[in-house]
């Protein structure tokens, strides 16, 4: 059957078996991702996604409790009942996001830009619609449908400075929260989110004012705004006008809750300057200015000594200055205020290893990956296993870390190749077959690693003129440098074609 016809029949079958009514819009649509998968994925990714975005805000617990109450008030009027959860991320970027299954967050940095409970409701209702209307699930489905040929073959049955460090399944969460929604999905979230606001007793006109605020702030060209909350649908007068029309067609009145909101978030507003100092300190540290970063950390701590992030910034400075004992003291203080954030365990573990406190360092690293598996932790654990003679475990840790493009991920990848290439050279040295002008066999070996290798042997298996299967082992002369290819003439042949010829690299060693 023609592949195009097969794909058409496949799509028609999926439409017939996966067609469902969207609970928010009432439209018929393809639904390939079951609700149980949505909920399971969101539940699994909620913790690591919050961790890589800055961790949970806990300095003023009443703020978090308040956001949760407002969120559940809106969730109660949603068209789709899901196990909704709400939380506040300890990050200054003005952002909010939703995972499939109703797992929603709003950043500390967005809360301080809002002016009323109704505006908070507008943000949360918008994210509730993304979950309720299956916008995240639809994005997953589009990815599946784009691989129609793979489906036909039987496959049917992304702030953060820390995101690039995440490895394994945590990377899925990074992709989900950075995936851009379609323009239509964002418009639906605006429209139905205002309906939810009205049903919950809030004044939907707050969503109009909210969009006006966003338009004003975005005109400043702040990339934090444009790359965060508005990555897929930037604020515009068009959105303001659309919200104004929606509000005019909804029941008038409703709560604004301005005084209530400002009273609850007063701690955030009071600490705003402290967090600005912290953010400046993080930037200074990333630029190599340890003394400047320390001054910002001290300034932040003077204004708010109960914020764990500020203590950890001091620790990060001391760690970079190789003052390991002092850094551990700072991480201990951070953990006294917040024992549920990976970064403090990771950094303390790395500092302890520098002081040869191996058992304590290993325990910290393992604790950190319970919150968020990261390349630095996995790479360090791999080195500990390697030093202990446990090659098998070391390979597992290095393999996990190698999934990251960070410095630690690259280091782990190099370590993994050094350990694994002698046992599985075919995984790293690509072999291609060709023919010369006389139809004799040519073999090209391509070194896809960042290591120089030598003593490369390969086998060639072919069927001779009498139909007998023959195997020949040959040696590649000299060394093969990183990303280098070499082609050799084997003298085997001639061949009319290469359909009965196979080859495989069977031996190689890394040049240290």
- For the chain, give the longest Cα–Cα distance: 92
Measured N-to-C along each axis, helices 35-52 and 170-178 cross at an angle, to the nearest 10 degrees, of 90
Of 80, 98, 86, nearest in space to 35 by CA = 80
What secondary structure letter does DSSP report for 182? P
State the catalytic residue, choosing from 38, 117, 119, 127. Answer: 127
Give catalytic status of residue 29 as yes or no: no
Contact 133, 31 (CB under 8 A): no
Alpha-carbon distance 460 to 441, whole Å? 10
Structure tokens, 355: 């002081």
φ/ψ of residue 171, rounded to 5: -65, -25
Residue listed under structure tokens 């040696």: 475
Contact 110, 123 (CB under 8 A): yes
Q: Which residues contact 349 (CB under 8 A, 6 or more apart)?
A: 360, 361, 362, 363, 364, 365, 367, 368, 377, 380
Three-state secondary-structure class, residue 231: coil
Q: Which residues pair with 86 in a beta bridge?
A: 104
Cis before residue 494, ω within 30 degrees of 0? yes
Task: Show the CA angle centred on residue 440, arms to residues 438 and 441, nearest 5°.
Answer: 145
Contact 445, 430 (CB under 8 A): yes
- DSSP annotation string for 422-467: TT-GGGTEEEEEEE-TTS-EEEEEEE-SSS-EEEEEEEEEEE-TTS
By CB neighbour count within 10 A (0-12 exposed, 13-18 middle, 19+ buried), where does 507 fall?
middle
Neighbours of 502 (CB within 10 A): 15
Alpha-carbon distance 187 to 173, whole Å? 24
Of 482, 509, 348, 346, nearest in space to 410 by CA = 482
Neighbours of 360 (CB within 10 A): 15
Alpha-carbon distance 95 to 268, whole Å? 15
Of 94, 200, 95, 182, nearest in space to 133 by CA = 182
Alpha-carbon distance 187 to 193, whole Å? 10
Alpha-carbon distance 130 to 135, whole Å? 5
Alpha-carbon distance 285 to 283, whole Å? 5
> Which residues are known catalytic residues?
127
């Amino acid at each position: 059957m023609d592949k195009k016809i097969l794909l058409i029949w496949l799509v028609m079958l999926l439409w017939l078996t996966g067609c469902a009514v969207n609970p928010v819009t009432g439209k018929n649509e393809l639904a390939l991702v079951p609700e149980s998968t949505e909920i399971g994925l969101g539940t699994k990714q909620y913790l690591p996604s919050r961790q890589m975005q800055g961790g949970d805000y806990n300095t003023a617990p009443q703020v978090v409790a308040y956001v949760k109450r407002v969120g559940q008030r809106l969730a109660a009027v949603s068209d789709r009942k899901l196990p909704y959860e709400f939380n506040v991320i300890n990050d200054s970027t003005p952002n909010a996001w939703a995972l499939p299954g109703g797992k929603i967050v709003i950043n500390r940095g967005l809360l301080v830009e809002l002016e009323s409970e109704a505006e908070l409701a507008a943000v949360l209702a918008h994210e509730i619609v993304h979950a309720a209307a299956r916008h995240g699930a639809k994005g997953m489905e589009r990815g599946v449908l784009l691989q129609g040929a793979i489906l036909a073959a039987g496959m049917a049955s992304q702030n953060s400075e820390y995101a690039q460090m995440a490895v394994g399944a945590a990377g899925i969460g990074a992709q989900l929260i950075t995936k851009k929604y379609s323009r239509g999905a964002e418009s639906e979230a605006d429209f139905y989110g205002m309906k939810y606001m009205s049903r919950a007793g809030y004044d939907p006109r707050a969503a109009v004012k909210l969009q006006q605020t966003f338009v004003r702030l975005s005109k400043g060209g702040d990339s934090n705004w444009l790359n965060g909350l508005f990555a897929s649908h930037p604020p515009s007068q068009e959105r303001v006008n659309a919200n104004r029309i929606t509000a005019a067609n909804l029941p008038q009145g409703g709560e604004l809750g301005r005084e209530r909101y400002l009273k609850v978030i007063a701690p955030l507003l009071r600490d705003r300057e402290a967090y600005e100092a912290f953010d400046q300190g993080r930037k200074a540290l990333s630029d190599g200015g340890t003394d400047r970063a320390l001054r910002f950390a001290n300034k932040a701590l003077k204004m708010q000594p109960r914020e764990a992030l500020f203590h950890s910034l001091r620790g990060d400075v001391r760690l970079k200055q190789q003052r390991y004992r002092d850094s551990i003291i700072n991480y201990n203080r951070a953990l006294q205020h917040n024992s549920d954030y990976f970064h403090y365990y990771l950094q303390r573990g790395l500092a302890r290893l520098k002081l040869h406190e191996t058992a304590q360092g290993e325990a910290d690293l393992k604790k950190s990956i319970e919150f968020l598996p990261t390349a630095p932790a996995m790479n360090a654990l791999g080195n500990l296993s390697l030093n202990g003679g446990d090659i098998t475990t070391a390979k597992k840790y290095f393999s996990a870390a190698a999934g990251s493009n960070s410095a630690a991920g690259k280091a782990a990848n190099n370590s993994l190749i050094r350990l694994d290439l002698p046992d599985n050279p075919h995984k790293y040295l690509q072999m291609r077959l060709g023919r010369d002008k006389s139809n004799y066999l040519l073999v090209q070996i391509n070194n896809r690693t960042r290591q120089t290798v030598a003593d490369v042997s390969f086998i060639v298996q072919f069927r001779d003129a009498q139909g007998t299967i023959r195997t020949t082992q040959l040696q590649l002369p000299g060394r093969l440098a990183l990303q280098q290819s070499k082609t050799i003439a084997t003298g085997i042949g001639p061949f009319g074609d290469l359909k009965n010829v196979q080859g495989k690299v069977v031996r190689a060693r890394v040049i240290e």
